[in-house]
């Protein structure tokens, strides 16, 4: 099945930080793929901006190299790449300086959507917003896209919201959380709200618990100094994992409309209960397998920053009273995997003698690898051995189900940038959502900082600290296996 590609409006997209890692790995290759798919109109333009004094040819060569490196070979079409590159230009601008702004203004065309991607350090967001405004480069329809991290606590997030709000309305600000751009994450909403099957069961009466896992095999190599200032709670839980939790836990919005969806997510965040210290396990990976541990990679040999966190979260509302959400994320774990698993309760009464063969129904939403969904069901074991039960998966890998190559499932960034051009904010975080998330996270972080807690060591390549296992075992539950 070939998905329908509806071209978006023509645009001028300025990428501040156009020479940076994110632009090279994700934004520019993603835009090429949208061009290849016919979604980016012929007369749309991309303008890279950074301090480096580059000619347009030199920047185009960088973009060409990025496409070669980050787009699968089968999708590299020389003629289309040349057409795409012809739509790219460059201006040298220092976000804090005065030069280059008039040159940028001269490049912007009337009557097309103007979008500005702030793919630079967050400390520059305010300066960029102010200068776009001062030089009349952003018109009333302009959109700005801001990258994570959006603050490091409630106070800094509020300050950032305030500085952006002094130049742009909330409807113009797109706070990106690339997890929300993943096909599976959006499918979570389709599965919940476009089928009658699950929603009647989607409550504590029928759901025993929910597990959300984001496991990485990489460590903090090369990013140690940056990561050490944030840790797993700020880097993963406060944004990506809370967004996933919200999509599972929220009430049905009245319409698939940006504010209707975000209003419902906000209610979930506000219903999150404070977490008791005993419901959190923090870990830090140890040296092993010839590689250094966390402490060898950050600048502070006594660092107390966590590279792993597991927590039990309670949502205090009618739907979820009594159904815990277990979240865990970490670096240097056994496999790279991201999934949400919804474990249902036992049927009220079993008519079968094979009590041992019985296992819970589990709905697994796989974000990576191999985006898809799996429903663990009970069936009769085949053969003449009597009525014995076994668990089998109803497995739907999206790439198979939709008849596309895994490489062709658009990357989250591609989808989100197209949403920016369409003016659809559904998959972007609203300012009040971000602040509410920090308001919940801040006391947790302050708690362990105040107690001077050290994270527990865990072996690289393991499933995390032992206490994380206990977090589940003491409730008579177990984590799902971490496997790639």
> Among the options 167, 178, 209, 240, which is catalytic?
240
Shortest approach of ligand NAP to residue 122 CB, angstroms? 5
Q: Is 473 a catalytic residue?
A: no
Q: Which is nearer to ligand NAP, 99 or 403 (CB)?
A: 99
* Closest C-alpha among 109, 83, 147, 140 to residue 10: 109
Hey, what are 449's tokens? 């900082």
CA 314 to chain centre: 22
Bridge partners of residue 375, in order along the sequence: 363, 394
What's the closest the beta carbon of residue 36 comes to ligand NAP, in angstroms?
Answer: 22
Beta strands at 11-16 and 113-118: parallel, antiparallel or unpaired: parallel
- Interface with ligand NAP by CB under 6 A: which range of 45-53, 242-250, 344-352, 411-419? 45-53
Distance between CA 258 and CA 235 in Å, rounded? 24
State how far the Cα of 375 lies from the Cα of 343, in Å rounded to an integer.
Answer: 10
The sign of the torsion formed by the CA atoms of 60, 66, 69, 71 equals negative
Q: What are phi and psi of 74, to 5 degrees?
A: -65, -15
Q: Is 416 in the site for ligand NAP (CB under 6 A)?
A: no
Backbone angles phi, psi at 360, to 5 degrees: -70, 155
Q: Note whether 96 binds ligand NAP by CB under 6 A.
A: yes
Question: In this chain, which of 19, 161, 305, 425 binds ligand NAP, going by CB under 6 A?
Answer: 19
Contact flag: residue 52 with ligand NAP (CB under 6 A): yes
Q: 3-class DSSP state for residue 316? A: coil
> By CB under 6 A, what part of segment 255-294 binds ligand NAP?
none
> Residue 220 has which token pair?
């903090």
Among residues 13, 67, 85, 95, the one that binds ligand NAP under rule CB under 6 A: 95
Q: Does 306 bind ligand NAP (CB under 6 A)?
A: no
* Segment interacting with ligand NAP, rule: CB under 6 A, options 90-98, 378-386, 444-452, 473-481: 90-98
With H, G, I as helix, E, B as strand and everything else as coil, classify residue 473: helix
148 binds ligand NAP (CB under 6 A): yes
Provide the token pair at 321: 């009273």
Q: Which is nearer to ligand NAP, 115 or 373 (CB)?
A: 115
Q: Nearest residue to ligand NAP, using CB?
A: 20
Q: Binders of ligand NAP among 98-137, rule CB under 6 A?
A: 119-122, 124
Three state DSSP letters for 363-417: EEEEEECCCEEEEEEEEECCCCCCCCEEEEEEEEEHHHHCCCCHHHCCCHHHHHH
Among 83, 94, 130, 354, binds ligand NAP (CB under 6 A): 94
Closest separation in Å from C-beta 438 to ligand NAP: 16
Among 1, 4, 21, 255, contact with ligand NAP (rule: CB under 6 A): 21
Give the range of 92-100, 135-143, 418-426, 454-462 binding ligand NAP by CB under 6 A: 92-100
Residue 164 within binding range of ligand NAP, rule CB under 6 A:
no
Among 14, 145, 147, 410, binds ligand NAP (CB under 6 A): 147
CA 89 to chain centre: 29
Give the single-character DSSP code of 238: I
Residues with Cβ < 8 Å from 361, sequence gap 6 or more? 343, 344, 375, 376, 377, 378
339 binds ligand NAP (CB under 6 A): no
Q: Which residues bind ligand NAP (CB under 6 A)?
A: 16-23, 50-52, 93-96, 119-122, 124, 147-149
Query: Active-site residue numbers?
Result: 240
């Amino acid at each position: 099945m070939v998905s329908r590609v509806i071209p978006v409006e023509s645009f001028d997209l300025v990428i501040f930080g156009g020479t940076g890692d994110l632009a090279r790995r994700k934004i520019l290759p993603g835009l090429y793929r949208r061009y290849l798919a016919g979604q980016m109109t012929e007369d749309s333009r991309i303008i890279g901006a950074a301090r480096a004094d580059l000619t347009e040819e030199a920047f185009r060569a960088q973009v060409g190299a990025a496409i070669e490196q980050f787009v699968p070979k089968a999708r590299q079409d020389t003629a289309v790449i040349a057409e795409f590159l012809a739509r790219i230009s460059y201006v040298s601008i220092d976000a804090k300086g005065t030069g280059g702004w008039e040159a940028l203004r001269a490049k912007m065309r009337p009557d097309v959507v103007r979008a500005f991607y702030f793919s630079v350090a967050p400390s520059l967001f305010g300066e960029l917003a102010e200068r776009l405004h001062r030089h009349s480069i952003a018109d009333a329809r302009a959109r700005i896209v801001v990258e994570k991290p959006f603050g490091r606590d409630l106070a800094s997030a509020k300050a950032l919201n305030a500085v952006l709000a002094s130049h742009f309305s909330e409807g113009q600000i797109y706070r990106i959380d690339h997890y929300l751009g993943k096909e599976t994450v959006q499918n979570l909403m389709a599965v919940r709200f476009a089928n009658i099957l699950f929603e009647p069961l989607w409550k504590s009466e029928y759901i025993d618990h929910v597990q959300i896992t984001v496991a990485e095999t990489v460590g903090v190599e090369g990013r140690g100094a940056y990561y050490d200032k944030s840790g797993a709670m700020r880097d993963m839980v406060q944004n990506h994992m809370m967004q996933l939790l919200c999509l599972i836990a929220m009430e049905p919005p009245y319409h698939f409309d940006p504010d209707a969806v975000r209003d419902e997510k906000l209610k979930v965040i506000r219903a999150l209960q404070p977490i008791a210290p005993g419901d959190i396990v923090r870990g830090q990976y140890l040296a092993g397998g010839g590689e250094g541990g966390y402490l060898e990679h950050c600048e502070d040999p006594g660092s107390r920053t966590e590279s792993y966190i597991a927590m039990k979260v309670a949502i205090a509302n009618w739907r979820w009273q009594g159904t815990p959400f277990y979240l865990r994320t970490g670096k240097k774990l056994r496999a790279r995997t991201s999934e949400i698993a919804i474990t249902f309760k036992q049927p009220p009464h079993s008519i079968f003698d094979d009590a041992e063969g019985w296992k819970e129904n589990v709905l697994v939403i796989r974000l990576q690898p191999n985006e898809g969904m799996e429903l663990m069901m009970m069936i009769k074991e085949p053969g003449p051995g009597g009525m014995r039960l076994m668990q089998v998966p109803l497995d739907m890998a999206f790439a198979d189900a939709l008849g596309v190559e895994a490489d062709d499932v658009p990357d989250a960034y591609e989808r989100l940038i197209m949403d920016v051009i369409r003016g659809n904010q559904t998959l972007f975080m609203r300012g009040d959502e971000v602040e509410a998330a920090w308001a919940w996270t801040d006391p947790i972080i302050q708690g362990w900082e105040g107690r001077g807690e050290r994270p527990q060591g865990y072996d690289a390549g393991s499933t995390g600290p032992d206490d994380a296992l206990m977090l589940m075992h003491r409730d008579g539950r177990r984590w799902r296996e971490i496997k790639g």
